[in-house]
Amino acid sequence: MRLRHTVPGAVALTSLAFLLIIPAAPAAAASASDTLRASARGTGVRIGTAVNTDALADEAQYRDLTAAEFNTVTAENVMKWQLTEPERGVHDWAAADRLIEFAQANGQKVRGHTLVWHSQNPDWLNEEDFTPTQLRAILRQHIFDEVRHFKGKIWHWDVVNEIFEDDGSWRDTIWLRNLGPGYVADAFRWAHQADPKAKLYVNDYNNEGINPKSDAYYDLIKQLKSEGVPVQGYGMQGHLAVQYGFPADVLDNMRRFEKLGLDTAFTEVDVRMLLPTDTAKVQAQAEGYNNLLRACLLAQRCVSYTVWGFTDKYSWVPGVFTGEGYATLMDENYVRKPAYAAVRDTLRLAA
């Protein structure tokens, strides 16, 4: 899976207009006690969602459910470099700032996503136009600019995103080609210097269980930790599909990273299926969500469980995986699926 998320159109509202429509208190169709957010209290695990900021600005029901159901939020796109610095030296923080204002108004923590990635970089960042020395300076400046802008407002940063292939080899990127693997240590050090209080994560997909990719992360992080690099969290995206089954050794994998001194988190969970749906697929989807949630609840240092969007109305899956979809906890009309009930009930039992 090379293409991870599509980019929404730019939010056209002004910051003031957006603030005027922030609800004074969380609201939802169901009672406040019948939400994921309420069910997670007492578990030690925060429940989060990626946020489509266009929908947040335009649609009251989406806004109300985002506030009511979750106590952490992740910007689906608006903190990515492509949108924060569309022209070199010209920054646009407005959409991300509005998301942070929304989160603060609703008592939510914010995950920053993402600082260093091979995708969704600005068009001006063309390696043919820069030397390796220049690219290193550009990357450093980007990390300092973004982390300092949001200093004190970000709970976790996904510092590096998807740096390995599934076979455990390094992903061929502009950063690896020009800077070598040392760019990872540099990125963590720069991010820590820019905001020493933010927790700093690696983040990837297909790394939930023990396999060549997670082995590569384990070896790298063990080395980085021995060198004093401030890697503090292991992020597992959790993009699953019912037709492929689910990893059976997720908890064992998490425990080995926790023994390295890291927190763990599921950062982008969804469970897609081949369409049309049927009862067996829907039941399997619920089990897929719960497979990861149970591991998080059983682990010693799993701090959050974030879904990559909560309604099929704004899911990225159909646009990327032809013939697949129905991947989130609610359908296009915000009707809760069995997967929602499974996650809620598991949280309640653990509280």
Active site residues: 162, 268
Instruction: Give the residue from 331, 314, 308, 219 showing the smallest Cα distance to 1.
Output: 308
> Counting runs of H as helices and runs of E as strands, what totals does the chain give?
14, 10
- How far apart CA 211 and CA 156 sit, in angstroms, is 25
List of E strands, the chain: 46-51, 72-75, 109-116, 156-161, 199-204, 233-236, 239-241, 263-274, 302-307, 324-325
Q: How many CB atoms lie within 10 A of CB 280?
A: 10
Is residue 183 within 8 A of residue 139, CB to CB? The reply is: yes
As given in the structure block, the two tokens for residue 188 are: 């963590």
- Please, are residues 293 and 34 in contact by the beta-carbon 8 Å criterion? no
Among 44, 41, 53, residue whose Cα is nearest residue 7:
53
For 256, the token pair is 């080995």
CA distances in angstroms from 62 to 12, 57, 70, 191, 289, listed in the order given: 17, 9, 12, 32, 21
For residue 234, which phi and psi values (nearest 5 degrees)? -115, 110
* Amino acid identity, position 220: L
Q: What's the CA gap between 109 and 54, in Å, rounded?
A: 20
Angle at the Cα of 134 from the Cα atoms of 133 and 139, rounded to 5 degrees: 100
Strands (E), 205-262: 233-236, 239-241
Amino acid at 181: P
Number of Cβ within a 10 Å radius of residue 21: 14
